[in-house]
Structures are given as C-alpha cells and as structure tokens.
Structure 1
Amino acid sequence: MPAQNDHVSILREAYTQWVDSRGSDCECWMNIIADDVSLGSLADGSPEVPFTARRDNRSGVRAYLEDLMRDWEMISHAMDEFIAQDDRVAVVGRAIWRHKGTGKVADTRKVDIWRFRDGKVIDFDEYYDTARLIAAATP
C-alpha cells in the first residue's frame, strides 16, 4: 500500500500544479514521467484534434501538452477521485476547456489511468467525451 499512496500523492500534487497554472505549465507532468513514457488519448489523433495522437516518449508528451496549451484554454479541471491498486492509479473528474480558435467549450467527465515504475509514470491513458472535444474544435 505505501507505493500506491506515493503514486496518489505524486498525482495529486501534479494535478494541483496543473490547475494552479490554468493548464499553462506542463512541467508538473514532465517532472513525473519516465523517458519511455507512453501517452494515449481517446480521440487518438482525430483530424479535428491532431494533438491527441499517441505519444511514446518524453518529447512526444511535451509536444502533446504544448499543442494542448496552444489551442485550448482551461476553464475548469477537477480530478477529485483517486483509485489505486498496485502500480496503477485511476483518476476520475471533470474537465472544461475552451478552444481558442472557435471559442467553443468542451465540458466532459474525464478518467485518467496512470501506471508507474520506480516512482515515475510509464503509461498514461485519458478517456473523455470525444464528441464534445471534436465539436468544440470544429468551426
């Protein structure tokens, strides 16, 4: 159980920093990921939101986050339920973002699944309402 508690603590702190920066500073995530991290997003590189394509290393995750911050503005991000078992943590909440180009808002429940190795994230997948995300990104 101690490792699970450590993982939850690491994620709680990172989410707090992410929200405090209003999604403008990705270092809170870069500080907790391994070099060989894998990131998957439910929209999976859809043409309307190409930044959501699968990423397989630190530089790919940084590019994902920079593209997100370039195109979207965080309105609210409340990930408040943490469920831990072994090397995995599921985080449940709600995210609300405004697309900077269209001005449209995507408001969706969100589930993030994290996997750790040696105190660093090696796998991250996010699940949300892709229809709302794509609709907000479409002029």
Structure 2
Amino acid sequence: MPRLAAALLAAARLPVIVVNVAGGSTRITALMILPLHAKVANLPWYMLQGGDMGQREEMLDVIRNAYAARRDGDVEGLVTAFHPEGVFTLTGDKSALALTGSMEGHPTLRAAFGQFIADFGFESREILAELVDGDRVAVHSRVVVRYNPGGKTFSTEILDLFRFQDGKIAELIEFADTAQIKAMIS
C-alpha cells in the first residue's frame, strides 16, 4: 500500500515522503517530487527512495564507519573517511565557543579530530533519521557525550549534513548545541 500511495502522490506532482517503520523506530528515507509525466508504476522501488540504492548504501556505510571510528577514538579511521580536501564545520559563534569553525584537508582534520576525541568521548549514538538525496546525506542523531577533562556526561542531539565526492566525505557540517558544550567545558 505505501508504494501505491507514493506512486499516486508522485504522479500528481506532490512531494512524496517515504517513511519506514521497523523495530519500533520511524525513519524518513526519501523526499522527492516527480513530474506529472513520470511513469511511476514502472519505476523500481529503490527509485522511489531517492535513486541508486548502491550509492545510497555506500554513503551510509562510510558515515557509519566514520561514526564507529569517532566512538572508538580512531582518529586515522575518521580522517580516512574524508576526501583529501574534505571540510568539517562545527557551526556556531566562534566568539562564544572557540571549537566552532571550519577545518580543511587531512592534516588539519587529523589535528582537530585528535583534539575533539581527546576532549569529548562519544559514549553512544542513536541514529534518529537518515535522509539521502543524490550526493548529500543528512543524519539526525542523539548522542551521549563525556567531557573527558571534567568527567561530566550529557545527552544531546546533533544534525550532520554530508556531501560526498569520489566515495568520500567532501564536506560535513555539524549542528550541535554549542551552548550546552560551552557550559560543559566552563
């Protein structure tokens, strides 16, 4: 029934949100607008989920491996997930929190991630939603973070926006509660 509903909405040129519910969790898997003339009934199901399933799963695997490297304190594993000219940006006001800003290229990322890992341990991560659109991925997570110097832990939500190039992370923009981070390290 969801396929038929998505096909009908897409054929009417309305936005289509494909939602999977499994194991008690809900995950948005796609948002698309198809033209009125698209022969939706003949499209494979993966096309209704946002395109090439192989590329989608490859990007999600890179992200999951990067998250595992971050959790395990593996700086090199995290850096290798990035394109050689890859950029990581922690959004926020640099005058309020010095950790915010952009870092580019493997040497800079290695130093920055090394410091982040030394200061902040990710105790757990629950992925709340993954959304893939072409070479871009959005991941909404709930994490439990330990501030290592003080030993305090806190739970927060993070939104990561990825852009891929050549199978690697070309850009990661992370939205985190920087006020909560600042309070934790003060």
Q: Classify the TM-score, shorter chain.
A: 0.7 to 0.9
Offset at residue 47 of structure 1 (A): 5.7
Q: 1:98, 1:136 within 8 Å by CA — same for their partners in 2?
A: no
Please give the root-mean-square deviation of Cα atoms over the aligned residues, in Å. Answer: 2.0
Deviation at 1:26, TM superposition (A): 1.8
1:6 deviation in Å? Answer: 1.4
CA-to-partner distance for each residue in 1:29-59, whole Å, 9 max, x for gaps? 21221111111002354564x3433101111
| Match of residue 67 from structure 2 | 15
Say whether 1:123 aligns with 2:158: no
Gaps of 5+ in 2: 1-51
Structure with larger Rg: 2
C-alpha change, 1:100 and 1:12, in structure 2 (3 Å) is closer
Compute the TM-score of the two structures, normalised by the length of structure 1: 0.83
TM-score (norm 2): 0.64
Specify every segment of 5 or more residues in structure 1 that has no aligned partner in the other structure, as ranges. Answer: none
Aligned residues: 134
1:25 matches 2:74: yes
Which segment drifts farther, 81-90 or 26-35?
26-35
The residue that corresponds to 1:109 in the other structure is 157
Q: 1:65 to 1:104 in 2, by over 3 A?
A: same
Could you say what secondary structure the match of 2:151 adopts? coil
After superposition, what is the alpha-carbon deviation per residue over 1:67-123, rounded to whole angstroms, capped at 9, x for unaligned?
112222332223353211100111111122122233333421111111111111111
Seq. identity, %: 25
1:77, 1:45 → 2: CA distance?
Answer: 26
